[in-house]
Amino acid sequence: MAEEWTTLRELLLPAAAATGRGRHGRGVEAALREAIRGGQLAPGTRLPSSRDLAGQLGIARGTVTAAYGQLVAEGFLTSRRGSGTAVAESLGCTVAGPVPDRVSAPRWRFDLRPGLPALSAFPRHEWVAATRQALFALPDEALGYPDPAGLPELRAELAGYLGRVRAVTTTPDDIVITHGAAEGLSLLGGVLARHGHEVVGMEDPGHEGQVELLRVNGLAACPVPVDGDGIRVDALRATRCRAVVITAAHQFPMGTALQPDRRHALLAWARERDGLVIEDDYDAEHRYDRPALRAMQAMDPARVVYVGSVSKTLAPALRLGWLVLPPALRADVVERKRLTDLGCSPLPQAAFAHLLRTGGYDRHLRRTRLLYRRRRDALLAAVAEYLPDWQPVGIAAGLHVLLRLPDALNDSVVAQRIAERGGYVPALSEYARGAAGAPYPGLVVGYAATSADRLRAAVIEIAAACNASAT
């Protein structure tokens, strides 16, 4: 009967095990030195105790103690009573091999990019408590490979929530949980390509990330112009598209809501073409001066896919989203999800289900609506004071506002001037896809992640940049 092998802190040293080198002190020294120099053992890595490593290598404890002592003397290791033995931190720059260049995003003095919620407002305590409660409640079998469609408890809670706040017509079986809206659109792109679609209509101006997600799935994007009433269905009819992606509740980046007559016309187009409307409801929870219109999905669940996530309400880092699918697409999407990553982790799903069930998510949204409304008001008050010729466009909703510039200005030049003063505010023209370009010069200003005082300071800097360029 073989002896039971066990260890407290495993360390694999092939060089020490080879040809019996590990039975001699110098062999252990050389193997450890080689592992440190070669990068196998990074600076700060804790090593097993001398007794533990001796047991792993099948040698005397004194041999390991002597090897550790020699490497401490040479500066490769550090040893402190009560803390054990570790690779010296000072060796961080001596590891062999090239060190890759670190690519990091630029650090702006003020960053007003759209699409980010107030990350400092993330309900950390509530999320920790929800995670703890959900983990205790999960049965053991829920910790195995997940249902690719998503945790049943979360799908049930989402069906009730979406029906209550967005009038979405759904059952838990219609919902598929995804790693954010981005994966949802990617899954749909793959299924549409398999069903014979070659081109998908996209709002113009619109989000470039959506185009990229469709392109990697073999689909071409067809820009369809947007005006003050939303996507122009007459222009969509002139294309060969049988599917279109829209942001009906709060168009990105124009900030308009798709008007009722356009909604009906869009659904009529989908029925005529045997087509599909993909409704990205990315920030519909944030409305500041009016109740929300119901989701388009409620008007024709067989022709509309509803896409949602917590990226604009809680935090993008959670990577948690959902699709509400027509029955004709569900099986294909679930199978593609299974083949892509086997399904999303049940733990954050269970935590989010707990927040929905206990009202924690609603309470968080009430807090952030008030916060974002104050920040939006502070931004527009500063614009009215320092840039009175710049006009806000669209409804009071979401995490961004479009500022229309005087026609004589070039928004790309203005954005560049702002960048030279340490700020980031994207130009409307960056989001234009069609040959005609953006309908007018503008800046797309995200305000949710920036305090009211910093927003005011940013507007003063923007005004200074514009005045400097004018002179």
CA distance 108 to 458: 11
Residue 402: the pLDDT is: 98
pLDDT tens digits for range 341-368: 999 999 999 999 999 999 999 999 999 9
Average pLDDT over residues 312-339: 97
* DSSP-assigned letters across all residues of 1-18: -PPPP--SS----HHHHG
The confidence score (pLDDT) of residue 461 equals 93
Would you place residue 257 in the very low, low, confident or very high pLDDT band (cuts 50, 70, 90)?
very high
pLDDT band at 280 (very low <50, low <70, confident <90, very high): very high
- What is residue 177's three-state secondary structure? strand
Determine if the peptide bond prior to 98 is cis (ω within 30°).
no
Question: How far is residue 337's CA from residue 150's CA, in Å, rounded to a whole number?
Answer: 10
Cα dihedral value 463, 466, 467, 468, nearest 10: 120
Q: How confident is the model at residue 13 (pLDDT cuts 50, 70, 90)?
A: confident
Q: Which of 131-135, 285-289, 318-322, 397-401 shows the lowest mean pLDDT across its residues?
A: 285-289
Q: Residue 190: its pLDDT value, please?
A: 96
459-468 pLDDT, tens digit each = 999 999 888 6
Q: DSSP string of 104-122?
A: -----SEE--TT---GGG-
Q: How confident is the model at residue 98 (pLDDT cuts 50, 70, 90)?
A: low
Q: Give the chain's radius of gyration (CA, Å).
A: 28
CA 335, CA 137: separation in Å to the nearest integer?
28
pLDDT at 19: 45
Hey, is 345 helix, strand or coil? coil
Whole-model pTM: value is 0.88
Of 48-57, 84-93, 419-428, give the range with the top mean pLDDT: 419-428
Read off the pLDDT band of 92 (50, 70, 90).
low
Residue-wise pLDDT for 194-208, tens only, equals: 999 999 999 999 999
Q: Which amino acid is at 291?
A: P
d(CA 143, CA 137): 11
Are 313 and 172 spatial neighbours (Cβ–Cβ below 8 Å)? no
Query: What's the CA gap between 393 and 442, in Å, rounded?
Result: 9
Give the span between the Cα atoms of 280 and 398, in whole angstroms: 13
Find the mean pLDDT for residues 452-463. 96
Average pLDDT, the chain: 92
Predicted confidence (pLDDT) at residue 105 exceeds the cutoff of 70: no
Report the pLDDT averaged over residues 407-429.
95
Q: Give the contacts of 230 (CB within 8 A, at least 6 positions apart).
A: 246, 248, 251, 256, 257, 258, 259, 262
167: left (phi over 0), alpha (psi -120 to 50) or beta: left
pLDDT recorded at residue 96: 47
User: What pLDDT, on a 0 to 100 scale, did the predictor assign at position 322?
Assistant: 98
Q: What is the distance between the terminal CA atoms of the chain, rounded to a whole angstrom?
A: 89
